[in-house]
């Protein structure tokens, strides 16, 4: 997968217009993303938000000096490289600047070629540092940052998609019922890849106050409305260079859908009360638990926006369609909510958990486990510790396999998962007796043996699998 944002970001800070133009032009010909500021104050207030790789700083700036700006850049963005531009006879201060952490200095007036060579040299160094960092992060984040648990083929597909998307600017739409882990996946897309150290901004479109939505998203200028005493940066600008996660996108009112569409098309925002646009580059990850198709049909969601957001879509299946993940999730939540304790879960409890339909998906399972922990004795979780709702479900029929519920699920659950699950459950039911299990499953002993081998189920292992 290509890293589309491999372009170097250059910020030029000089009060002289001609110098800024010159530097911007040279940066442009090198393929850099260039921005400018005419003072240190502007650079600090706006320019640094895009986390530039290189900043060219004029040593003599009107108010705040170039040296002070250098100091502040280095403390805010340690990996940003700064080049000091000096006038005649200020070599001594340039040397001072080097001591403060400037990468190099260049004396005015300089030739285009001189600047170009210097930028090239810096670029090489920056790329090397970046590559190493990305590698390091990949190892770290894969291990711990997002912690998406599950081994079912369904979850593996989701993980594969994350792997393909993590380093791209491609807009992603994450779909899934409530509690399936949409936010977790959005974070994984961001933190597993090259964006990890850039901003990740979450916007809950369902929770935004309608009247403030636009200014929240795009910012406002001083005096834009009563109470706007200062201008304020919007969420899109805060996410510049990184990912904006638009949760519950289906809740966005039509009017703002149009504005969002424009941002995605033009890659520019316009703060409320302003008449100039600000360019922003953000990756948009949106999530919805609603059926957007219905919203498209009844006209409450714009089609053009939908196609923009849904360039790639990641569907997270409901938990009931990947029941084989349940035991692992249970143990993950035991770790999360009772760290350092060793708590057993009885086979009967696991069975109950695997039977439940989990309309609230993983979140409901997590709540159920934390409730069981709160009420239980912290040694063992048994049927009696689980919510009555779960227990009653199982009281009804004497296990018929597969149950109708699982027939439905079969259309979507990978057959292998379902088969393995079914065999495990039957086996448990008959206490590991292969003959009885074969009978119940309606398959010959030979077939049963083959399947046991294939799924690596051993009668002895079964107990372990369901209790540990
Ligand atoms: N595969 C998973 N592994 C571990 N934890 C998970 C997994 N999926 C979900 N969770 C946990 O379940 C809870 C709900 O997940 P999340 O908030 O991402 O769901 P959601 O789809 O955004 O839900 P909603 O639609 O209600 O906003 C979180 O605590 C999350 O950590
Ligand atoms: Mg969510």
Q: Whose CA is nearest to atom 24 of ligand 1?
A: 178
Residues in the chain: 468
Top CATH class, 9-132: alpha beta
**Which atom of ligand 1 is nearest the CA belonging to 180?**
21
Mean pLDDT (the chain) is: 83
Residue-wise pLDDT for 50-82, tens only, equals: 889 999 999 999 999 999 999 999 988 888 999
The answer to whether 424 and 347 are in contact (CB under 8 A) is no
Dihedral angle sign, alpha carbons of residues 452, 456, 460, 461: negative
- 3-state secondary structure at position 121: helix
User: Cα(416)–Cα(426) distance, rounded to whole angstroms?
Assistant: 15
Q: Which secondary-structure segment (H or E) carries 438?
A: helix 434-441
Q: Whose CA is nearest to atom 25 of ligand 1?
A: 178
Is there a cis peptide before residue 302, judged by omega within 30 degrees of 0? Answer: no
Could you name the CATH architecture of 320-467?
A: Orthogonal Bundle (1.10)
d(CA 204, ligand 2 centre) in Å: 8
**Which atom of ligand 1 is nearest the CA belonging to 177?**
25
pLDDT(368) > 50:
yes
Residue-wise pLDDT for 95-146, tens only, equals: 888 888 999 999 999 999 999 999 999 998 888 677 656 544 444 444 454 6
Top CATH class, 148-317: alpha beta
- 3-state secondary structure at position 340: coil
Q: Is there an atom of ligand 1 within 6 Å of 176 CB?
A: yes
Q: Is there an atom of ligand 1 within 6 Å of 47 CB?
A: no
Own/partner long-range contacts of 431-434 (Cβ < 8 Å, ≥24 apart): 432/459, 432/460, 432/462, 432/463, 434/459
Comparing 71-75, 219-223, 418-422, the range with the smallest average pLDDT is 418-422
Mutation to probe ligand 1, out of 363, 369, 370 (largest number of atoms < 8 A from CB): 363
Q: Which residue has the tokens 């280095």?
A: 74
Q: What's phi and psi for 355, nearest 5 deg?
A: -80, -30
d(CA 366, ligand 1 centre) in Å: 9
**How confident is residue 48, by pLDDT bands cut at 50, 70 and 90?**
confident
Which pTM does this prediction carry?
0.58
Q: Whose CA is nearest to atom 16 of ligand 1?
A: 181
Number of helical H runs and strand E runs in the chain: 21, 14
d(CA 178, ligand 2 centre) in Å: 7
Per-residue pLDDT at 433: 77
Q: Which residue, among 162, 206, 170, 205, has the nearest Cα to 186 in the 3D structure?
A: 162
Return the higher-pLDDT residue of 97 and 226.
Answer: 97
Q: Which secondary-structure segment (H or E) carries 243?
A: strand 243-247
Task: Find the ligand nearest to 364 CA.
Answer: 1
pLDDT(326) > 80:
yes
Q: Is there an atom of ligand 1 within 6 Å of 390 CB?
A: no
> How would you class 455 by CB atoms within 10 Å of its CB: exposed for 0-12, middle for 13-18, buried for 19 or more?
middle
**Where do the structural domains in the chain lie, given as residue ranges?**
9-132, 148-317, 320-467
Q: What's phi and psi for 71, nearest 5 deg?
A: -60, -45
> How would you class 132 by CB atoms within 10 Å of its CB: exposed for 0-12, middle for 13-18, buried for 19 or more?
exposed
User: Cα(346)–Cα(343) distance, rounded to whole angstroms?
Assistant: 10
**How confident is residue 17, by pLDDT bands cut at 50, 70 and 90?**
very high
Same fold, 9-132 and 148-317: yes
Residue-wise pLDDT for 2-15, tens only, equals: 333 678 999 999 99
Q: Which residue, among 234, 225, 298, 289, has the nearest Cα to 260 in the 3D structure?
A: 234
User: Cα(133)–Cα(265) distance, rounded to whole angstroms?
Assistant: 31
d(CA 380, ligand 1 centre) in Å: 25
Token pair in block for residue 194: 């090259």
Per-residue pLDDT at 406: 40
């Amino acid at each position: 997968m290509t890293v589309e944002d491999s372009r170097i970001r250059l910020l030029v800070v000089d009060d002289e217009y001609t110098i800024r133009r010159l530097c911007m032009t040279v940066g442009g010909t090198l393929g850099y993303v260039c921005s400018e500021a005419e003072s240190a104050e502007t650079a600090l207030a706006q320019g640094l938000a895009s986390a530039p790789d290189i900043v060219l700083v004029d040593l003599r700036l009107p108010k705040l000096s170039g040296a002070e700006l250098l100091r502040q850049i280095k403390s805010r963005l340690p990996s940003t490289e700064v080049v000091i531009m000096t006038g005649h006879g200020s070599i001594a201060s340039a040397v001072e600047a080097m001591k403060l952490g400037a990468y190099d200095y260049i004396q005015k007036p300089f030739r285009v070629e001189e600047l170009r060579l210097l930028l090239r040299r810096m670029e090489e160094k920056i790329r090397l540092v970046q590559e190493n960092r990305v590698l390091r992060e990949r190892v770290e984040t894969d291990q711990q940052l997002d912690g998406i648990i599950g081994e079912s083929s369904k979850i593996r597909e989701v993980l594969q998609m994350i792997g393909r998307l993590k380093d791209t600017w491609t807009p992603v739409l994450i779909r899934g019922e409530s509690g399936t882990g949409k936010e977790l996946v959005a974070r994984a897309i961001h933190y597993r890849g090259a964006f990890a150290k850039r901003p990740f901004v979450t916007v809950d479109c369902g929770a935004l106050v309608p009247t403030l939505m636009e200014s929240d998203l795009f910012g406002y200028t001083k005096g834009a409305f009563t109470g706007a005493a200062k201008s304020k940066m919007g969420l899109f600008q805060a996410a510049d260079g990184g990912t904006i996660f638009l949760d519950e996108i289906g809740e966005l009112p039509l009017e703002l859908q149009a504005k969002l569409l424009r941002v995605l098309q033009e890659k520019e925002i316009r703060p409320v009360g302003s008449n100039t646009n600000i360019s922003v580059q953000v990756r948009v990850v949106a999530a919805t638990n609603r059926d957007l198709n219905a919203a498209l049909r009844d006209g409450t969601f714009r089609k053009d926006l939908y196609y923009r957001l849904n360039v790639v879509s990641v569907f997270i299946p409901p938990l009931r369609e990947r029941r084989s993940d349940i035991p692992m999730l249970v143990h993950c939540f035991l770790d999360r909510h009772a760290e350092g304790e060793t708590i057993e879960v009885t086979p009967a409890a696991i069975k109950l958990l695997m039977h439940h339909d989990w309309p609230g998906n993983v979140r409901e399972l997590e709540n159920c486990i934390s409730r069981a922990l709160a009420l239980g004795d912290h040694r063992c979780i048994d049927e009696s510790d689980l919510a009555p709702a779960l227990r009653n479900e199982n009281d009804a029929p004497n296990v018929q396999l597969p149950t109708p519920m699982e027939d439905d699920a079969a259309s979507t659950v990978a057959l292998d998962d379902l088969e393995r699950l079914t065999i495990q459950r039957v086996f448990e039911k008959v206490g590991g007796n292969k003959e009885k299990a074969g009978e119940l499953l309606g398959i010959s002993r030979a077939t049963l043996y083959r399947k046991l081998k294939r799924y690596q189920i051993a009668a002895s292992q079964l107990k372990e699998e369901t209790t540990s």
